[in-house]
Structure 1
Amino acid sequence: MSITETGVAVLFLNRPHKRNALSQDLIDELTRALHELDRDANVRVIVLTSVGQSPFCAGADLSELAQISTAKAHRIGWLKGLEVGFATVRKPIIAAVRGFAFGGGFEIALMCDIILAAADAQFGFPEIKLGTIPGAGGTQRLTKAMGKHKAMGLILTGSPTTATEMERFGIVNKVCSAEEDVIDESMKVATTVASFSAPAVALAKQAVQTAEATVLNAGLEIERALYYSSFSLHDCAEGIAAFLQKRAPNFEHR
Structure 2
Amino acid sequence: MDFGTYKTLLVEKRGNALLVTINQPESLNALAAAVVEDLHALTGVLGGIGRDAQWPVRGVIITGAGEKSFVAGANILEMNSMDSAAAAAYGRRMHEVTLRLEALPVPVIAAVNGFALGGGCELAMACDFLYASANASFGQPEVNLGLVPGFGGSVRLQQRVGIGMARELIFTGRRIKSAEALRIGLVNQVFEDVESLLAGAKNTIEEIAAKAPTAVSNAKDAINEIAGLNVADGLEAEVRSFMKAFETADSVEGRAAFVAKRAPEFPGR
Question: 1:78-106: per-residue Cα shift (whole Å, max 9, x none)?
Answer: 53333343244222111111012000000
Aligned match of 1:128: 143
Choose which of 85, 96, 100 in structure 2 pairs with 1:71: 85
Counterpart of 1:3, as a letter, is K
Tell me the CA shift for residue 121 of structure 1.
0.9
Question: 1:83-136: per-residue Cα shift (whole Å, max 9, x none)?
Answer: 343244222111111012000000011000011110121110110100001111
Pairs within 5 Å for 1:66-215: 66-74=80-88, 77=92, 79-178=94-193, 181-215=196-230
Q: Distance in 2 between matches of 1:232 and 1:191?
A: 25
Tell me the CA shift for residue 3 of structure 1.
1.4
- Relative to structure 1, the CA distance from residue 225 to residue 70 in structure 2 (aligned partners, 3 Å threshold; closer, same or farther) is same
Q: Distance in 1 between matches of 2:198 and 2:59?
A: 14
Matched, 1:4 2:18: no
Q: Distance in 2 between matches of 1:173 and 1:182?
A: 12
Choose which of 52, 58, 67 in structure 1 pairs with 2:72: 58
Q: Secondary structure at the match of 1:94?
A: strand
Q: Distance in 1 between matches of 2:28 and 2:155?
A: 25
Aligned match of 2:24: 15
Tell me the CA shift for residue 178 of structure 1.
4.6
Q: Structure 2 regions of 5+ residues with no counterpart?
A: 1-10
Choose which of 219, 229, 251 in structure 2 pairs with 1:236: 251
Q: Distance in 2 between matches of 1:117 and 1:168?
A: 13
Q: Distance in 2 between matches of 1:135 and 1:75?
A: 11
Q: Secondary structure at the match of 1:155?
A: helix
Counterpart of 2:218, as a letter, is L
Counterpart of 1:2, as a letter, is E
The answer as to whether partners of 2:103 and 2:221 remain within 8 angstroms in 1 is no
Aligned positions, number = 253
Tell me the CA shift for residue 68 of structure 1.
1.6
Q: Distance in 2 between matches of 1:187 and 1:51?
A: 17
RMSD after superposition:
1.8
Moved more, 94-103 or 217-226: 217-226
Tell me the CA shift for residue 74 of structure 1.
3.8
Q: Secondary structure at the match of 2:71?
A: coil
TM-score (norm 1): 0.93
Aligned match of 2:7: none
Q: Percent identity?
A: 33
Choose which of 62, 67, 78 in structure 2 pairs with 1:48: 62
Tell me the CA shift for residue 33 of structure 1.
1.3
Counterpart of 1:49, as a letter, is T
Q: Distance in 1 between matches of 2:83 and 2:229?
A: 32
